[in-house]
Amino acid sequence: MVIESNNCQEIDCLKPLQTREGLNQLRDEWKAKLEQPKDIRVVIGMATCGISAGANQVYDAFREEFDKRGMTTIKLEKVGCVGMCVYEPIVEIYETGKDRVSYIHVDPPKVKTIIEEHILGGRPCPGLTLAGLNNDDKSAPECAGFDDLPFYRKQKRIVLHNCGFINPEDIRQYIGVDGYQALADVLTTMTPQDVIDTISASGLRGRGGAGFPTGLKWKFAAANEADQKYIICNADEGDPGAYMDRSVLEGDPHAILEAMIIGGYAIGATKGWIYVRAEYPTAVKRLHIAIDQAEQLGMLGENIFGSGFNFDIQIRLGAGAFVCGEETALIASIEGKRGMPRNKPPFPANKGLWGKPTIINNVETLANIPGIIRNGAEWFRSIGTEKSPGTKVFALGGKITNTGLVEIPMGTTLREVIEDIGGGCPNGKTFKAVQTGGPSGGCLTINALDVPIDFDKLVELGSMMGSGGMIVMDEDNCMVDIARFFLDFTCDESCGQCTPCREGTKRMLEILDKIVNGAAHKKDLDDLKELADNIRLTSLCALGQTAPNPVLSTMEHFMDEYLAHVVDKRCPAHVCKNLTGYYITDRCIGCTKCVRVCPADAITGAVKEHHHIDQAVCIHCGACFDVCPFDAIERR
């Protein structure tokens, strides 16, 4: 069937693509539109981070100006995350034959300037790009398009390739970047076994945390005879501080659908589920749109590409339980029950959703599948390390200059990520540690900076890949406090089913509370370690088994900080409130600023006279310290 694409430009008019030729025709048309646009293409990063920073207002401002000026040929488009969250809202301008220009921190007044100077006047505005930030980065080009930045140069974007470029709410743009070609290949030229062989040969390992070989998992499920099988996309992304899955769902949702259909064909499943956390409303909305459009074009539904293969996908929302990221708990949750994990085996590949063979894959794992089918297993193996081929996306956050999403080939060193891509710690502070693997992981110190990152190396170092949160900490962070933070999280998220996790994490938290409050003895440290080891060995699921990791790893690398709290009753980073006193020094000129912010009325002193903090009343909140313009407040 041929598409009448030149008559109707609306997505609603599209008919199902029943053949490869139909798909290719649409691809060629949209490839041209995306790569060689006839007119200027203005894209606005509108993932959650962009929207939070005000991208909606920027979009409306562009729309309004374009309408007012009758600039009807310009394409204004909402795209996913461009990657440099710290500079949101980001607007990029693509013009055939010219470098793209990336505007940062855009607001409605800047929209007018961009339209008048750049779009109408043909003179890009360097002052509104990265070049306008008065930073020391001499390598930043005069009018920065992001490609030229060190932030992007060391990255290899496979998973995030389309994020920030295509409009996720328009399936034709996905098709224009070779979307659904892999599916067409699979359904028209490959057997399920061919698909499994290709994925196995690629060496792809699960990006949801454990790094289990995806091809092997698919093989297990394919080998099981059953009247019904399922494939589930795990989009629960529970690690607080990781958001690559959200970014893929918001920026490139069709890649996930395509991968799930391919996976379904490979294992013999006709039904897929996407389990998304409810905290991601934008991702959920875009997934719904993507599913509707895929159904409309016949990518989902019956007899896809005339192959006789049927597949459909449903979305299920989480309701705020971290443990539901664990695969057996996730299955219980889809079944409408309390999301509690169960013992394995049987593994879901044998006995999963409603007792049927089920494959659960993480969002990022799936996002790699179409590329592997299109480019071949060898291509994938050529990226990354031997045991961990491909790339990994990290959410780089915390005390780092360029917070954002970075995708690096496996084997890149931590130093390259933190110093070259991340730009180091801001405000001249000293790097202390980086936490990977979230609440299940551990911290890596300066000694680990030159180790190439892959699944196995991180485990060797006492941490883990996890889902890809990478939180940088500097001298102002207290490692005991961080360990307490993660344990507080896991303690709260324990499902309560098994005793070691339910009770043990509570007891550990109590000891950590004693430590940060200066009430602990040295014996408490031994108890903490013993508890940790027991919980690790005896918990039912990986939540409990890994919950002690942040404590164990900080104890290993930062015992001196623990001892300072326990023995000297001192918090070296001045974070733990009860171990930090505030005192006013001679530099005080009596400006009264601190008096005004003190919530406890603990500060006395007349104008232009030396002030004084009443230690009995002080609640150690540090408000005075933060506000003093003369650095006259000292922490001890």
Read off the tokens for 369.
């599948």
Q: Does residue 220 belong to the site contacting ligand FMN (CB under 6 A)?
A: no
The CB-of-330 to ligand FMN minimum distance in angstroms stands at 7
Q: In angstroms, rounded to a whole number, what is the distance separating the alpha carbons of residues 533 and 518?
A: 24
Q: In the complex with ligand FMN, which residue's Cβ is closer, 212 or 513?
A: 212
Dig out the tokens for 138 from the structure.
Answer: 């001499």
Residue with smaller CB distance to another protein, 53 or 195: 53
CB of 375 vs ligand FMN, minimal distance in Å: 20
CA atoms of 335 and 332, how far apart (whole Å): 5
Stretch of 192-200, 322-330, 412-420, 612-620 contacting ligand FMN, by CB under 6 A: 322-330
Minimum Å gap between C-beta 279 and another protein is 7
Least separation in angstroms between CB 177 and ligand FMN: 23
Identify the residue among 203, 209, 215, 442 touching ligand FMN (CB under 6 A).
Answer: 209
- CB 412 → ligand FMN: shortest distance, Å? 20
- List 83, 215, 238, 468, residue binding ligand FMN (CB under 6 A): 238
| C-alpha–C-alpha distance, residues 156 and 407, integer Å | 6
Helix H or strand E segment including 94: strand 91-94
Our CB check for ligand FMN shows the closer of 162 and 440 to be 440
CB 36 within 8 A of CB 176: no
What residue 380 binds from another protein, ligand FMN, none (CB within 5 to 8 A, per partner kind)? none
Distance CA 407, CA 393 (A): 4
Query: Please, are residues 479 and 433 in contact by the beta-carbon 8 Å criterion?
Result: yes
Decide: is 219 part of the binding site for ligand FMN (CB under 6 A): no
389-408 residues in contact with another protein (CB under 8 A) are 395, 397-399, 403-404
Q: Are strands 633-635 and 612-613 parallel, antiparallel or unpaired?
A: unpaired
Find the shortest distance in angstroms from Cβ 212 to ligand FMN: 5
Considering only CA atoms, give the Rg of the chain.
27
The two three-digit tokens of residue 36, written as one number: 């060689």
The nearer residue to ligand FMN, 171 or 330, going by C-beta atoms, is 330
Q: Is 191 exposed, middle or buried (0-12, 13-18, 19+ CB in 10 A)?
A: exposed
212 scored as a contact of ligand FMN (CB under 6 A):
yes
φ/ψ of 635, rounded to 5, equals -105, 135
Establish if 170 lies at the interface with ligand FMN (CB under 6 A). no
Q: Which of 80, 145, 208, 409 binds ligand FMN (CB under 6 A)?
A: 208
Q: In what order do the strands lie in the sheet with 391-398?
A: 404-409, 391-398, 469-474, 431-436, 442-445
The bridge status of strand 431-436 relative to strand 469-474 is: antiparallel
CB of residue 454 to another protein, shortest distance in Å: 22
Whole-number Å distance between alpha carbons of 564 and 573: 10
Q: Are 263 and 361 in contact (CB under 8 A)?
A: yes
H-helix or E-strand spanning residue 64: helix 55-69
Among residue numbers 107 through 146, which ones bind another protein (CB under 8 A)? none
Return the exposure string of 168-189: e unless at least 16 CB atoms fall within 10 Å of the residue's CB, then b: bbbbbbbbbbbbbbbbbbbbee
Q: Which CB sits closer to another protein, 171 or 331?
A: 331
Smallest separation (angstroms) from ligand FMN to the CB of 322: 6
Task: Give which of ligand FMN, another protein, none residue 114 binds (C-beta under 5 to 8 Å, depending on kind).
Answer: none
Integer angstrom CA distances of residue 604 from 578, 584, 585, 596, 623: 21, 11, 14, 10, 15
Q: Within its chain, how far is the Cα of 465 from the centroid?
A: 13
Number of chain positions touching ligand FMN (CB under 6 A): 23
* Residue of the chain from 206, 272, 339, 357 that contacts another protein (CB under 8 A): 339
For another protein, the closer CB: 390 or 442: 442
Q: Does 363 bind another protein (CB under 8 A)?
A: no
Residues at the site binding another protein, with contacts judged by CB under 8 A:
48-49, 52-53, 84-86, 88, 238-243, 246, 278-280, 314, 316-322, 333-340, 354, 395, 397-399, 403-404, 435, 438, 469, 471-473, 477, 482, 485-486, 489, 495, 597, 599, 621-623, 626-627
Residues at the site binding ligand FMN, with contacts judged by CB under 6 A:
206-210, 212, 214, 234, 236-238, 323, 325-327, 360-362, 365, 467, 541-543
